[in-house]
A and B are shown apart, each in its own frame.
Chain A
Amino acid sequence: MDYFVELFFSGLTRGSIYALIALGYTMVYGIIGLINFAHGEIYMIGAFTSFVVASVLSIMGLPLLAIIVLAGLAAAIWASAYGYTIEKIAYKPLRNAPRLSPLISAIGMSIFLQNYVLLAQTSNFLPFPELIPDFEFLEPIAHIIGTTDIVILLTTAVSMIALLILIKFTRMGKAMRATAQDKTMARLVGINVDRVISNTFIVGSALAAIGGMLIASHVGQINFYIGFIAGIKAFTAAVLGGIGSIPGAVLGGFILGLTESFATGYVSSDYEDVFAFSLLVLILLFKPAGLLGKSSIEKV
């Protein structure tokens, strides 16, 4: 039973990170109908930024909590700047092009960013400082759920609630929803659609960067390639839940994380991806629009 609970929490942790990244995919898709394949790289850049900042700050001897918060903030801001710039350079000029063009542009951006970080940071795995200490009061259950897991779960929960409030209750959120539903009409009621799109990239990138920092301190090492795998997994999660749907991305992330965790625990870690992607195929067979996605009926 303990083993089951342990796997459950490990899956939850993993899933919450997938969900954080998947939110970025799904928000961008919801607004401009683009699969932003460079999103995984944003996550990777977030991890690297927090790595650099955390290393510098720990040399300066700041307390751990300050390091975590500052590194997280720096990662979120820096990755948002990347997300914003990528949209302006690679997607905005192709706004009215056929759908395939921005997709290719996204893949190009992804390859470019990987190689850029490869050149800047070498291909070696860099040891990521252990930012999250072990709390003593958790000692009795540490074999089931570690401190890192708890911090990751709490941070993702807070981020998701903040996102929910942003989208549901603020005018920026309303503008985003309006833009997602009908861009032309949104413009006609005075919404600056370009700014809404920029904001979407900024918010999505910040979430991915936070995910990058959390997972890096959990796993303990990073390199230029981590964004690719994480990106593919998060994309899978977004599709699983119904791409374009925000609750769908969260649900998809958790389902994917749990599936992988149980597959690793009860079968073999070699099969973790097999199970994850088989699940995707199965769900898409029965619900092509994903679990919470709306099947769109094209009116002719």
Chain B
Amino acid sequence: MQQSNTAILEVKGLSMAFGGIQALNQLDLKVHGGEIVALIGPNGAGKTTFFNCVTGIYTPTAGDVLLTPPGQKTTRLNGLKPNVIAKRGMARTFQNIRLFQNMTVLENVMIGRHCRTSSFILGAIFRPPHTRREEQEIVDHSYAILEKVGLADVVNDFSKNLSYGQQRRLEIARALATEPSLLLLDEPAAGMNPQETQELDKLIRRIRDEGHAVLLIEHDMKLVMNLSDRIYVMDYGRRIATGTPQEVSADPAVIKAYLGESDDA
């Protein structure tokens, strides 16, 4: 596992306020190439808000979000539209699954792939040879991704008919189709049984080994502790601890946030 020193994602002083509620408060975070980083914290700590700010769904009130795909220039993502950010190399999944329900598994992945290719309205109508070739490449590539996540035998099923675990993997496949240098996973193991979780563990490692950095929100502590190179702990929109799994699990602030303070302390 080689870790490069350049940060793919660098977040500096990120703040997000909804009216009077400070959902994120001066948050700093870095993800390096080849890393799996976890973001944990009690419910309502602001983890998903963080994802929404980084992927362009919300525009943060203050701070910088900088993305540097390997070998490319740094871009400041604040205020960019989600589709532009996706093209820059960031993809995500959702805590509550958001697949295109009425499309087939293959179509879901192909959609993700489209942002890497160019085609105009006239090309779509008249379908010249290069458009068709491109389309074929998209199909082939999508099959390869589905193979990787273990959905090769259900490519033509409607995504709404998949099992819960399969839907989660399809969300990851769709995200991978956009060729992200950084993949954000929002509670990928939620609702999975232990066996599915174990497969997920393998899949995430494989994704990392293939050159995508991973930032995940997860409540399954066993998975987080096994998988992550580094962990950030949030509470009330602030970062309260960071470090390796060992360091974090020994940190008094973390224990306090999760278990509360005892009265006689």
Which chain A residues have a beta carbon within 8 Å of chain B's beta carbons?
162, 166, 170-175, 177-178, 181-182, 184-193, 199, 202
Contacts and interface: CB of A to CB of B under 8 A. Distances in A.
Contact of A177 (B56, B82, B100, B175): B100
Contacts of A185: 94, 98-100
Q: Which of A185, A187, A190 has the most CB of B within 10 A?
A: A190
B101 A187 contact: no
Q: How large is the interface on B (under 10, 10 to 19, 20 to 34, 35 or more residues)?
A: 20 to 34
Contacts of B92: 188
A190 B83 contact: yes
Q: Which of B99, B111, B116 has the most CB of A within 10 A?
A: B111
A181 B102 contact: yes
Given A188-B86, A188-B92, A174 B81 contact: no
Given A174-B107, A184-B82, A189-B111, 14 more contacts: A171-B110, A172-B119, A172-B124, A174-B103, A174-B111, A174-B114, A175-B111, A181-B102, A182-B98, A185-B98, A189-B86, A189-B178, A191-B83, A191-B115
B83 A170 contact: no
Contacts of A178: 100, 103, 111
A27 B174 CA distance: 25
A173 B119 CA distance: 12
A187 B91 CA distance: 10
Q: Which of A162, A173, A178, A185 has the most CB of B within 10 A?
A: A185
B122 to A, nearest CB: 10
Interface string B89-129: 00110100011111100010011101110010100110100
B78 interface: no
Contacts of A166: 124-125
Contacts of A172: 119, 121, 124
A162 B175 CA distance: 31
Contact of A171 (B86, B99, B101, B135): B135
Contacts of B107: 174
Contacts of A191: 83, 111, 114-115
A187 B114 contact: no
B87 interface: yes
A163 to B, nearest CB: 11
Contacts of B135: 171
B57 interface: yes
B55 interface: yes
Q: Which of A166, A171, A191 has the most CB of B within 10 A?
A: A171
A181 B87 CA distance: 21
Which 7 pairs between the two chains have the least Cβ-Cβ distance? A190-B115, A187-B82, A190-B86, A170-B124, A172-B124, A189-B112, A185-B98
A300 to B, nearest CB: 14
A257 to B, nearest CB: 28
A177 B100 CA distance: 8
B174 A190 contact: no
A171 B119 contact: yes
Contacts of B83: 186-188, 190-193
Interface in B49-86: 55-57, 81-83, 86
Contact of B57 (A174, A182, A184, A202): A184
Q: Which of B83, B103, B112 has the most CB of A within 10 A?
A: B83
B81 A190 contact: no
B123 to A, nearest CB: 9
B111 A181 contact: no
A181 B101 contact: yes
Nearest to B138: A171
Nearest to A181: B100
B87 A190 contact: yes
A37 to B, nearest CB: 26
A278 to B, nearest CB: 32
Nearest to A299: B96
Contacts of A177: 100, 102-103
A171 B136 CA distance: 12
A89 B178 CA distance: 32
Given A181-B102, A185-B100, A175 B82 contact: no
